[in-house]
Amino acid sequence: MWIWVILLDSFFPRKKDKSVHWLFVVIGFLAISVFSVLIGSGFGYTLKMLFEVTLYTTLCAILYQSRWDRRLFVVVTCYAVLYSVSYWTNAICILLLHLTYEEYVWNIPLYSSVFLSRALMLIVLAVMVRKYHPPLSVDTQARAWVPLSVVFPLSTLLIIWQIYTFPNEQQIWQICLLILDVVDVVALLLLDHLEQSAVNREKLVAAAERARVQDENIQALSQAYAGQRKMTHDYRAQLSTLSELLEDGDLENAKAYLSEMRTRQSERVLLVNTHNAAIDAVLNQKGYAGRRQGIDMRFRVNDLSGLKLPRVDVTIVLANLIDNAMDACIQMPETKRWVSVQILYGHKMLSISIVNPSRPVQIIGGQIATTKPDPLLHGFGLRNVEDILEKYHAEYTFSFEDGRFIFTADWPDTP
């Protein structure tokens, strides 16, 4: 049982903290032990095998994060390898010492020594696996190799079933199982390599998406700064001209000039003013971009000057969410293109709510199912948002209701 814990720790990240994890381990293994003893072989070895594999898979699902196919593959492979090692160590001892199976089992000192030596060897091997194979964190996204990763454990269980069904041909089937154990281990490591490569590729794409959004934010800040400098320069020149007209007593031209000044300034006024320069730059950039695309951009904000959250993370979250909302609106008829953005700060909490009309969206396992040609290259905007919000332990939800996509988040204001 200790070997099982070490091996599962080698392949999966834990769900629970340390104390809760070990509490579940103790309860789970007590249940497995009791039921295995109660069932024994009275109902047949096949039922015993299936029952034990089911219990270990259930315990793995409770304690560790993983996809179902990978979980099944690891559990069945560990079960088969441990079974083969037990059989072959006993068989070799019987062969070398020229004993019958009954003589070997009832030789208590010999049997106990072999049992403890085998357990110690397996623990050492399991610790080495744990050292050189860190657990791989995988999401629930289906991979192309999922059917392949299911074929191997099912074939392994079939061979074990053959061993129980044809005891007279046990040695032949044990050799087959030993060969399949090697194939399973190699296939498991290869699939883990593929999984790691896919995860790394997704991280690179996500990083590129963050860089793109951050570049847009920097450009928005630069444009806002350049616009502010131009407005300041123009304002000084306009004041000088207006002063000259008033000094000359030309009131009619002064009124006309002042009216023209008001018109120009109203065109330059900010759509959104939160008193936070970075957030203002992003929101106004998105606001004007949405208007150019025929989207009715609706903002509700308050004073965000006291926000202590890192501006980079906040702007990435807001830019990604608004971009997603605008992308969804573009696919709608012009009369139904609108985005409602609400960003309110109070009681050391940033509340975000973004609502937009959308075509039907499927949310499976907490992920949005994309209909784009290459799913691997899409969906990283929302994934970036989730990564950042989870880093700050923010609570967030997203749903599709009555033709609208709704995203809400409560983000604690922690530096």
Structure confidence by residue, pLDDT tens digits, 70-96 = 888 899 999 999 999 999 999 999 999
Distance in angstroms (rounded) separating the CA atoms of residues 273 and 387: 27
Distance in angstroms (rounded) separating the CA atoms of residues 84 and 175: 9
Distance in angstroms (rounded) separating the CA atoms of residues 302 and 347: 13
pLDDT over threshold 80, residue 162: yes
Task: Kindly state the helix (H) or strand (E) to which residue 336 belongs, with its residue range.
Answer: none
Residue 411: predicted pLDDT: 95
171-180, 198-207, 327-336: which range is least confident on average? 198-207
User: Which of 322, 215, 237 has the alpha carbon at shortest distance from 271?
Assistant: 322
Q: State the CB neighbour count (10 A cutoff) for residue 334.
A: 10
Distance in angstroms (rounded) separating the CA atoms of residues 303 and 155: 63
Q: State the CB neighbour count (10 A cutoff) for residue 44.
A: 12
Distance in angstroms (rounded) separating the CA atoms of residues 119 and 208: 48
Q: Which residue has the tokens 């720790």?
A: 9
Query: Mean pLDDT throughout 288-301?
Result: 91
Residue 373: predicted pLDDT: 43
Question: Terminal CA-to-CA distance of the chain, rounded, Å?
Answer: 44
Q: Which CATH superfamily is domain 271-415 in?
A: Histidine kinase-like ATPase, C-terminal domain (3.30.565.10)
Residue 369: predicted pLDDT: 52
Residue 377: predicted pLDDT: 36
Distance in angstroms (rounded) separating the CA atoms of residues 254 and 240: 11
Backbone angles phi, psi at 403, to 5 degrees: 75, 15
Cα three-residue angle 166-170-172, rounded to 5 degrees: 115
CB 368 within 8 A of CB 379: yes
32-41, 101-110, 293-302, 323-332: which range is least confident on average? 32-41
Region for 399 from its dihedrals, namely left if φ exceeds 0, alpha if ψ lies in -120 to 50, beta otherwise: beta
Between 28 and 394, residue with greater pLDDT: 394
Distances in Å between the Cα of 299 and the Cα atoms of 265, 306, 352 are 21, 19, 11
pLDDT over threshold 70, residue 232: no
Q: What is the pLDDT of residues 307-321, one digit of tens each?
A: 999 888 898 899 889
CB 150 within 8 A of CB 72: yes
pLDDT over threshold 70, residue 112: yes
CB 32 within 8 A of CB 52: yes
Query: Mean pLDDT throughout 35-53?
Result: 74
Q: What is the mean pLDDT of the chain?
A: 82
User: Which of 325, 225, 316, 227 has the alpha carbon at shortest distance from 279?
Assistant: 316
Strands 296-301 and 349-357: unpaired
Residue 379: predicted pLDDT: 46
pLDDT bin (cut points 50, 70, 90) of residue 117 is very high
Between 227 and 33, residue with greater pLDDT: 33
287-310 burial string, b = 16+ CB within 10 Å, else e?
bebbeeeebebebebeebeebebe
Distance in angstroms (rounded) separating the CA atoms of residues 214 and 222: 12
60: which 2 tokens?
């793995």
The 338-346 sheet, strands edge to edge: 296-301, 338-346, 349-357, 404-412, 395-401
CB 272 within 8 A of CB 288: no
pLDDT over threshold 50, residue 266: no
User: Which amino acid is it at 48?
Assistant: K
Between 169 and 208, residue with greater pLDDT: 169
Between 179 and 254, residue with greater pLDDT: 179
Q: For the chain, which residues make up each domain, given as ranges?
A: 2-205, 271-415
pLDDT bin (cut points 50, 70, 90) of residue 29 is confident
